[in-house]
Structure 1
Amino acid sequence: MPVGEQPAYLRVAEDLRRQIREGALPPHTRLPSQADIRAAYGVSDTVALEARRVLMAEGLVEGRSGSGTYVRERPEPRRVHRSAHRPAGECSPFRQEQADERVRGVWEARSERGTAGPTVARRLAVEAGDAVMCTRYVYRVADGPMMLSTSWEPLRLTGRTPVVLPEEGPLAGRGVVERMAGIDLVVDNVEEEVGARPGQVDEVEALGGRPGRLMIVISRTFRAGSLPVETADLVVPADRYRIAYHLPVR
């Protein structure tokens, strides 16, 4: 193969991808079989198979047991809004983290005491094995679950206080900033890191889709000055959502 030339399976995948995007292969249409691809493009079975695998990895097609491979329906991605501004009187953290400003979402939460693993310990500036409160959320909108979140708070800060449980007590559901203010910690900055990876088994089970579904992961840490008070991982399906930031300019 000449230097700089695409491998044959990528050229085949690119042409099939073009047909999908232009509508020549609309949603729910059966993808040409491996034999059809081999004949149409003059390639080997191995090349045809690899081209199909590329499209499947990109989420453009899906296999149906005993039936074949079909073009997936691709709804217009919705937004998960991230903003430094929260409307006055708006207490729900979900309003900042939902998919559509016009939609009111709900969430389920479960908190339990645990210990910080190495990654969480680094993000919270504590020692591995230190006590934390871990809270797992499932966020839902009208058409089902749209986001998972797992948060960790160091119990050396919140233990034996009224805000030890994020969703219980006098400031239940009020969000990290307001809850921490209740114990005289002024949260004045937040750091977010956005990445992507294949969904873990429990994430795919909760959010739907097939194993390997690509997820966007937002790793967030709230701080009072330089002191981390909470860190969390937010997980949303990459094929259904986009992360939209609205930030002030000073």
Structure 2
Amino acid sequence: MTFGEQPAYLRVAGDLRRKIVDGLLPPHTRLPSQARIREEYGVSDTVALEARKVLMAEGLVEGRSGSGTYVRERPVPRQIFRSGYRPSGGATPYRQEQADAASRGTWESSSEQTEAGGAIAERLGIRTGERVMCTRYVFREGGEAMMLSTSWEPLALTGRTPVMLPEEGPLGGMGVVERMAAIDVVVDNVTEEVGARPGLAEELHALGGVPGHVVLVVQRTFYASGRPVETADVIIPADRYRVAYHLPVK
């Protein structure tokens, strides 16, 4: 193979992809059969099959049992806004940003005490096995799951205080900054690291995705004088949402 030459299956997949993107193969249209691809492009059955696999892995087509492979309807990506901290009467960033965007956001959550695994312990600056409060969220827009979040807070800091349960008690549902301030912990910094990976089966099930879909992962940690006080993983389906940052310029 000379430099720059594509394998046959990628060439076929690329041409079919172009037809899908350009609307020549619109959503819900049946993809040409393996035999048709073989004849049209002059390739083997193996190449035709691998080209179809590429398009399925990219989320452009989907198989329907007993019917064939069809072009998927591609959603128009919507924005999830994230911004620097703004005093807002105690609203969490999600509640604040949903209000700003006039969205129809709802959420549900559950909390439980557990032991910190190695990765979470490192992010919180504690020992592996120390007790943490783990809270899982499902955020919805118009009834559709749009985002998952799992947060961890060290119980050595919040245990036996009014803010031990993030969504319950007198400060339930308020942001990390306000909740920590109630126990004289001043949050002064937050970091967010954004990455992408294939979604886990349970994540895609909750988000309504299909196996192989990519998710954005926002790894967020709040600090008070250099001490991590809360860390979280925010999971967002990459085919449906874009993360938009609005940051102040100082």
- Residue by residue over 1:168-216, the C-alpha shift from the partner in whole angstroms, topping out at 9 and shown as x without a partner, is 0111000111100111111111111111111112111211122222111
Relative distance call for 1:99 and 1:33 in structure 2 (3 A) is farther
| Percentage of matched positions with identical amino acids | 70
Q: Write the distance in 2 (CA, Å) between the matches of 1:22 and 1:87.
A: 46
- Residue by residue over 1:81-105, the C-alpha shift from the partner in whole angstroms, topping out at 9 and shown as x without a partner, is 1100436336143235659812031
1:196·1:215 contact (CA, 8 Å) conserved in 2? yes
- The aligned counterpart of 1:102 is 102
Report the aligned-residue RMSD: 1.6
Counterparts of residues 1-250 of structure 1 (less than 5 Å): 1-86=1-86, 88-89=88-89, 91-95=91-95, 101-250=101-250
TM-score, scaled to structure 1:
0.96
Q: Which runs of 5+ in 1 are unaligned?
A: none
Q: SS of 1:17's equivalent?
A: helix
Q: Write the distance in 1 (CA, Å) between the matches of 2:35 and 2:64.
A: 18
Opposite residue 118 of structure 2, the aligned amino acid is: P
- Residue by residue over 1:107-130, the C-alpha shift from the partner in whole angstroms, topping out at 9 and shown as x without a partner, is 111000001001100100001101
2:103·2:141 contact (CA, 8 Å) conserved in 1? yes
Q: Write the distance in 2 (CA, Å) between the matches of 1:248 and 1:100.
A: 16
Q: SS of 1:6's equivalent?
A: coil
2:79·2:244 contact (CA, 8 Å) conserved in 1? yes
Q: Write the distance in 1 (CA, Å) between the matches of 2:31 and 2:4.
A: 28
Q: Write the distance in 2 (CA, Å) between the matches of 1:36 and 1:100.
A: 51
Q: Write the distance in 1 (CA, Å) between the matches of 2:206 and 2:34.
A: 33
Q: Which runs of 5+ in 2 are unaligned?
A: none
Q: Write the distance in 1 (CA, Å) between the matches of 2:143 and 2:7.
A: 40
Q: Write the distance in 2 (CA, Å) between the matches of 1:143 and 1:49.
A: 37
TM-score, scaled to structure 2:
0.96
Moved more, 82-91 or 46-55: 82-91
Relative distance call for 1:132 and 1:65 in structure 2 (3 A) is same
Relative distance call for 1:35 and 1:97 in structure 2 (3 A) is farther
Opposite residue 230 of structure 2, the aligned amino acid is: E
**Number of residue-to-residue matches in the alignment:** 250
Q: Write the distance in 1 (CA, Å) between the matches of 2:58 and 2:248.
A: 34
Q: SS of 1:149's equivalent?
A: strand
Relative distance call for 1:98 and 1:18 in structure 2 (3 A) is farther
1:78·1:240 contact (CA, 8 Å) conserved in 2? yes
1:83·1:245 contact (CA, 8 Å) conserved in 2? yes
Deviation at 1:65, TM superposition (A): 1.0
Q: Write the distance in 1 (CA, Å) between the matches of 2:244 and 2:135.
A: 24
